[in-house]
Chain A
Amino acid sequence: MSAPVIETHALCRRFGEVTAVDSLTLTVDAGETFGLLGRNGAGKSTVIKMLTTLLPPSAGQASVCGFDVVRESARVRQMIGYVPQALSADGDLTGYENLLVFAQLYDIPRAERAERIGRALAFMGLQDAAQRLVKTYSGGMIRRLEIAQSTLHRPRVLFLDEPTVGLDPVARQSVWEQVERLQSRFNAAILLTTHYLEEAEHLCQRVAIMSRGRVAAIGAPAALRAAIGPNASFEDVFEHYTSDEAPLAGAYDEVSQTRRTSRRLG
């Protein structure tokens, strides 16, 4: 399968004087894991917010599964799963209850709910913790629960905004494994943002490196490396395309959000 499930054309988002995303044109195919990379404030999260219908574009178009994110936002929301960067599972509910409410909101028929929730918990290795309040979970468990929440309805596209930020290496590894298993099982497209270059290289078939709201480079990690030089590492690639950036507006918010998330996870 290779029909594009995400298409953007000259997509722009301005906040006052600042252009956070500047004529972004890209496609993501079904079954593909696509990484958005870039320094703080490069516009990655803004792209995700526009594609998940949370933020209207200032100009240009974007569609998910053929539905326009502005005119057909309700249809888009049925097709997607979204794990925000901040911790979005509710700590005052149990793992099971967190899944139950999303099963209801995603129109999963009553008769199927218990079974689907049970399978999602087992898939994420959370069945023993299902009846515990989420505030007693470890960081990796919370992330896995959030991924389970956003995939209960088997979305065609899954958005992961920095899925491993603030996690220890073991927890990070477990999230990677779940992402890979999800993909091989449901053939969903996954669009993720990350600051960990080895994560992008490991998980993504293609990446786009963003700089100042624009795509500076796009392609398979290996191809991008080869284009820089024979022995170039992925770090070299990243630096090559982003090192000339002046400090960016919006970086403060992003850093503060990341630190908050890390603190809650740690």
Chain B
Amino acid sequence: MKSPRPAEPVGASADATQAAAGGPRRPKLAAFVAKTFAIGAMEVRKLRHDPTELATRAIQPALWLLVFGQVMSRGRVIDTGGAPYLDFLTPGILAQSVLFIAIFNGISVIWERDLGIVHKLLASPTPRSALVLGKSLGAGVRALVQAAVVMLLALAIGVHLRIDPLSVAGVAFFVVLGAAVFSTFSLIIACIVKTRERFMGVGQVLTMPLFFASNAIYPTSLMPRALQIVSEANPLTYQVDALRRLLLPGFASVTGPDFALDAGVLAAALVVLVAVCARLYPDLAR
């Protein structure tokens, strides 16, 4: 490696896992997976100790559905291709609430940096990519709880959702995947700006464009061409599309290339973002 930084490339924990001081030798991939889950489980445990956050987070999506959704469906101003507007909106709000929860994940890593937790993790034999992915999967679980709240709320106000084991499993998959994408994106920002104040500024600036330049609350066919292009490059669009296919009866099918494209774009985005973030992560300790 020409680079002087002590970070290793993604996944290359080198021999980090053949435990000279700890335990027996484990294959690289097994150790990577185990450590990713160890970090993720840590995040989930914190959530279990203090679930109040989840309740307050549910307020915003509730307002979108109850206020914005109700008003807009009365006016019938948005052409959804036949579906009731609230039905059309629900997967969008689902994705939005996941985005909002994930995009501020970076703030927790800045907090952990100020505390010294990041330093200690970086000085342990844990691949940087496992630190990043583990945190992002933790955000995924957090988002999963949030998604359940939004879906129950939608059902309560009479939105027609397809609820069967397969669609629920599919929704869970795309919620976790989407949350991991945006949370990793958020960690990258945190690695660059490093302070809470700057992070809050950048986070606010990015969230709204990501949301509005997507198909979350209106179909992209209504957008001017320039915005359509942005929307096509926006991972949120693919997440919303997948959720609509899964949840709305008669929207579009889940078999076929478009649905696979949704999963492919999100997975590719995650791999690239984790790779970038693993490179930047050691900067947090400097």
Contact = CB atoms under 8 A, between A and B. Distances in A.
- On whether the two chains bind one another, the answer is yes
Interface of B: 4-6, 8, 13-24, 26, 31, 34-35, 38-39, 41-42, 45-46, 49-50, 112, 114-117, 119-126, 282, 285-286
A144 to B, nearest CB: 15
Nearest to B124: A105
Nearest to A71: B1
A69 B4 CA distance: 11
A77 B126 CA distance: 9
Given A78-B16, A86-B114, A150 B120 contact: yes
Contact of A106 (B14, B22, B46): B22
A77 B120 CA distance: 10
A74 B120 contact: no
29 contacts: A53-B122, A53-B123, A54-B123, A54-B282, A56-B5, A73-B6, A74-B8, A75-B15, A77-B16, A77-B124, A77-B125, A78-B22, A78-B125, A84-B120, A86-B119, A87-B115, A92-B49, A93-B42, A93-B49, A101-B42, A102-B124, A104-B34, A105-B35, A108-B23, A133-B49, A146-B120, A150-B120, A153-B19, A260-B114
Given A55-B286, A73-B8, A90 B123 contact: no
A105 B24 contact: no
Interface in A84-110: 84-90, 92-94, 97, 101-102, 104-109
Contacts of A53: 6, 122-123
Contacts of A87: 115-116
Nearest to A133: B49
B94 to A, nearest CB: 27
Contacts of B46: 90, 92-93
A101 B41 CA distance: 9
Contacts of A106: 19, 21-22, 124-125
Nearest to B285: A54
Given A56-B6, A74-B125, A78-B22, 4 more contacts: A54-B6, A54-B282, A107-B24, A260-B114
Given A70-B4, A87-B115, A153-B22, A107 B120 contact: no
A153 B285 contact: no
A172 interface: no
A54 B22 contact: no
A74 B123 contact: no
Contacts of B14: 74-75
A85 B50 CA distance: 27
A244 interface: no
Interface string A122-161: 0000000000010000000000001001100111100000
B116 to A, nearest CB: 3
